[in-house]
Each structure stands twice: as structure tokens, then as C-alpha cells.
Amino acid sequence: MIRSPLITVMTDAVMKAARSLKRDFGELEALQVSLKGPGDFVSAADKKAETVLREALEKVRPGYGFVLEEGGIVPGTDTTHRWHIDPLDGTTNFLHGIPHFAISVGLERQGQIVAGIIYDPIKDELFVAEKGAGAYLNNRRIRVSARRDMASAVIATGIPHLGKGGHPAFIRELAAVTVRTAGVRRMGAAALDLAYVASGRYDGYWERGVNSWDIAAGIVLLREAGGFIADADGGDNPLETGTVVCGNEVIQRELLGLLRSAKA
């Protein structure tokens, strides 16, 4: 496990926020829920966890900026560092009592994501990575899958929900991928999709319309686990484009090819 001061700070903040999420998940009927947009819910638990994370990180790293799911962009006096935070990735799962959601925190330094934590509080799985120090699940080093045959690969994706758009294009991409693989999974939490690719559970993953807080931690986790990540057009900055395609070198390349074929 990584024992650096930075990872310790991030882990402490995430665990503090996780305690409130676990309590609220056990009391779903008491949650106050507001509608942020069609098919996109935000709960009182989401906002509370974000506040806990922000306050904890501000205390130990004053001056760092924030990119927050609920609070937006908060500039810091230290313009070289920004936290990308999703306090509850998988909100819809959470609100329906589906135990598959996570907290995701990534640190950007001078335009590069250098550390990330993804924590699943229900399964008590802590995915941690720091640039140059490897990627870990709890105390075990993780690596991406070594599978090279698309016919035996399991690929994750995200389906655009009501109000998000892009449905016809997604259906074409899904058709192109399903006929070449062992299966496609849609679990509803982008951060955990990336963590599962990094740990070899999934062989690859693609999605469009993701935000920086969804994928920042997962980017460094995947790269430190030996994986390859790009945007849907093969570019090297999914954080800016909001699209992601990843896997080991072979699976990612094949997946990019299938997505390009779906445009025809």
C-alpha cells in the first residue's frame, strides 16, 4: 500500500465522507432528494459528503483549488493544484438501494492527474494510486487484465440516460462491441468502471459524456496499473473531452477501432 503523506491525507478525507454515506444509505427513506435534471438526481447525502471532503482537504492542503460535482469550480490561491471530487459516483444506484457506488478524489498538478482514490464503502474496497508509485486495491498491487482476445473480453460502458442525448450513436457503438466480445456490462458508476479495469475485473471500458470528477482518480489508477487510456478519438486528454476508452494496450486499441467503425 502507498504510505505517502498525500495519500494519507486523501484517504483520511475519503473515509470521513464515507461514514456519512453509509449511514444515509441505510436510511434511504429519510433522504431529502431534489431533481437536478431529467434522470439526474442529487441527494442530501451527495451534498453532505462533498462538504465533508472539501473541508477536510482544505484543512490539510490550504490554497488548492477544487472541481466539484455539486459546487462547481472553486479557484485556489495555489494555481498549480486542483482536487477533482465526486462525492457520490453512482447516485442513481444509491437512491434505488443498489449497493454499487463510490467516492472519487483525484489530484491535478500542473495539468496532470498525479494521485487518485476511489472508495466503495459498501464493499470496503479502496483503490489507490500515485504517479510513479503503482496502483493498489486495499493492500494488494493491481494490474490490468492480460487478456488479448476481444472474443473473451468483458467490456464496461455507460448508457446515456434521459435528457443526456447521443442515444442513436451509442446504440451503434454497442452493436459494434457486443458482436465482438464476451459481454458488455453497465453498472452505473464510472469511477468504479475504471477501477475495475485497473484491477483486471473488466478488460476494457468506454463512455461518452463523463466529467472530470468522474474519471480523474481513475486515470492515474489505470495508468499506474499498466493500462492505456484515451478519449474516444484516440486523443490523450479524456479529462478535457469527456470521453474515455481504456484497457490494456491490445484491448484498448481494438476497442477504439470498433468505436470508429460504428461511425460509418
**How confident is the chain (264 residues) per 10-residue block, as mean pLDDT?**
93 97 82 63 86 97 96 96 97 91 98 97 98 97 98 97 86 97 98 98 97 98 98 91 97 97 84
Contact 86, 69 (CB under 8 A): yes
Give the CATH number of domain 150-261.
Answer: 3.40.190.80
What confidence score (pLDDT) does residue 44 get?
86
Helix or strand or coil: residue 88?
A: strand
CB proximity list for 224: less than 8 A, separation 6 or greater: 129, 130, 131, 132, 133, 134, 135, 198
Same fold, 5-141 and 150-261: no
Q: Where are the chain's structural domains?
A: 5-141, 150-261
* Whole-angstrom distance, CA of residue 216 vs CA of residue 213: 6
* Whole-angstrom distance, CA of residue 178 vs CA of residue 140: 32
How is domain 5-141 classified at the CATH fold level? Fructose-1,6-Bisphosphatase; Chain A, domain 1 (3.30.540)
Q: Is 175 exposed, middle or buried (0-12, 13-18, 19+ CB in 10 A)?
A: exposed
